[in-house]
Homo-oligomer: A and B are copies of this chain.
């Protein structure tokens, strides 16, 4: 049982809350039962270590069994150690250290995707996590993230994906212009989601392969990015409302693409 909150191990796990450490070590932290469950289910070979309190091991015995079956190293810890490892006040008794995966845009394109999301300079962890979750829920083939965006392996993003980060490839560090050109060259229609778009969502062409392009929370998409997209699409909303937030707009666009909202 790990009980020393000042051990090197605790310090080293905790240091993964810093982006520079994650990038140097190629490791990130997943906490909470839902995220840990999906990590073991979909990416067990990348799980280095699982830390579990006694209470959580009882509550989630199926999950601990699955970890053992997948040959994940499982460590018993007390509550204090788990709290010291995590950046959240209530890590819910379970925390895994996982190796990052670095799929490339070419990997994604090679699988002839039908639905993608490109996040351009998105900064808020909750927004990025919610978009990854929405992309997963509505059957997108991957999420693409430009350089200058939030780190998708930060604890807050990982937590708000609730395990979805293990369900579909997330490509990071992309150049927005080169990515838009590559998508177009592969016959994927690029649709900028923008409150000033002239095409309304119900009129947008969502039949073929396409990618939703979402901009920064505060300033949206730069003109030159919108000009490079095949269409600029607006979710129709009431006049008195200035805008939807990024996560809401992405959710509605993805739901429309998946057919979740159209009579069949």
Task: State the A residues within 8 Å of B (CB).
Answer: 34, 126, 130, 133-134, 136-139, 162-164, 167, 201-203, 235-238, 240-242, 244-245, 247-248, 251-252, 255-256, 258-264
Contacts and interface: CB of A to CB of B under 8 A. Distances in A.
Contact of A202 (B167, B201, B260): B260
Contacts of A201: 260-261
A237 B252 CA distance: 13
Contacts of A264: 202-203
Given A136-B240, A138-B238, A238-B138, A255 B261 contact: yes
A261 B262 contact: yes
A235 B260 contact: yes
Given A242-B34, A242-B162, A260 B237 contact: yes
Given A130-B248, A167-B241, A203 B262 contact: no
A69 to B, nearest CB: 20
Contact of A255 (B130, B255, B258): B255
Which of A34, A137, A138 has the most C-beta atoms of chain B within 10 angstroms of its own C-beta? A137
Given A167-B241, A241-B133, A242-B34, A260 B248 contact: no
A261 B234 CA distance: 11
A256 to B, nearest CB: 4
A263 B236 CA distance: 12
A248 B202 contact: no
Contacts of A255: 235, 252, 255-256, 261
Contact of A251 (B164, B203, B240, B252): B252
A236 B248 contact: no
Contact of A261 (B126, B162, B244, B256): B256
B164 A245 contact: no
Given A248-B133, A262-B262, A241 B164 contact: yes
Given A162-B245, A202-B261, A252-B261, 15 more contacts: A130-B245, A134-B248, A136-B241, A162-B242, A167-B241, A201-B260, A244-B251, A251-B252, A252-B252, A252-B255, A252-B260, A255-B255, A255-B261, A261-B261, A262-B262
